[in-house]
């Protein structure tokens, strides 16, 4: 059985705990935690911090998952690990209490949390978070490094661009396009397309400001 490391960064421990729970529920083996900010020997949710990202190189670690909730920081962590070990395998983590329909594709490094529903022929990119009780309808296309937050709902044929976030409880009607690195605020209802690098919220959701790729969510 492969041994999985969880790569996180200090304050990202909350998301890492959810990944640990999903792995445990799926009876997968966790080797430990890789963290640039915690000291070796510390523990996170019962698992030892093995060292920083250089530990991956020194010990020929080749399988893991990035446990960082922020899309930009998660992307940077993936980049650093690939530079250390170009052959590192980013595993897919799926909590056993999910519903994933036939025809769904899920990219490497993506996490699907408890209660999530992904319907027929949806395409989920790499290093995404499909969070607790979120729902992605048929034929949606979700780009890399996207977060679909708890209880967010996407109608059929929705497109979500790279690095974007649909925040908690937001609803997106069918066939809408959400651009790259865009944030849809919590509880919003999206009725029309939202462009790249925007923050939009409300019912109906309207663009309220422009953002950069590395900005905090809101």
Residues taking part in catalysis? 138
| Cα dihedral 95/98/103/108 (nearest 10) | -20
On the CB side of 69, CA atoms within 13 Å amount to: 20
Strand order in the sheet with 153-154: 99-100, 117-118, 135-136, 153-154, 171-172, 189-190
> End-to-end alpha-carbon separation of the chain, Å?
40
Other residues' Cβ atoms within 10 Å of the Cβ of residue 102: 7
CA distances from 10 to 22, 84, 114, 168 (A): 20, 20, 24, 23
Beta strand pairing status for 43-44 and 159-160? unpaired
């Amino acid at each position: 059985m492969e041994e999985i490391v969880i790569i996180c960064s200090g304050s990202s421990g909350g998301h890492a705990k959810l990944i640990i729970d999903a792995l445990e529920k799926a009876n997968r083996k966790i080797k430990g935690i890789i963290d640039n900010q915690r000291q070796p020997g510390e523990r996170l949710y019962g698992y030892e911090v093995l060292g920083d990202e250089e530990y991956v190189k020194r010990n020929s670690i080749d399988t893991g998952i990035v446990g960082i909730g922020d899309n930009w920081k998660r992307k940077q962590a993936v980049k650093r690990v690939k530079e250390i070990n170009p052959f590192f395998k980013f595993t897919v983590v799926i909590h056993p209490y999910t519903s994933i329909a036939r025809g769904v594709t899920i990219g490497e490094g993506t996490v699907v949390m408890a209660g999530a529903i992904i319907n027929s022929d949806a395409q989920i990119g790499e290093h995404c978070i499909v969070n607790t009780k979120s729902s992605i309808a048929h034929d949606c296309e979700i780009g890399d490094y996207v977060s679909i937050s708890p209880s967010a709902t996407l109608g059929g044929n929705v497109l979500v661009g790279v690095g974007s976030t649909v925040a908690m409880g937001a609803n997106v009607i069918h066939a809408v396009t959400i651009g790259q690195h865009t944030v849809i605020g919590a509880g919003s209802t999206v009725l029309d397309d939202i462009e790249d690098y925007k923050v939009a919220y409300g019912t109906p959701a309207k663009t309220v400001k422009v953002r950069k790729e590395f900005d905090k969510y809101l």
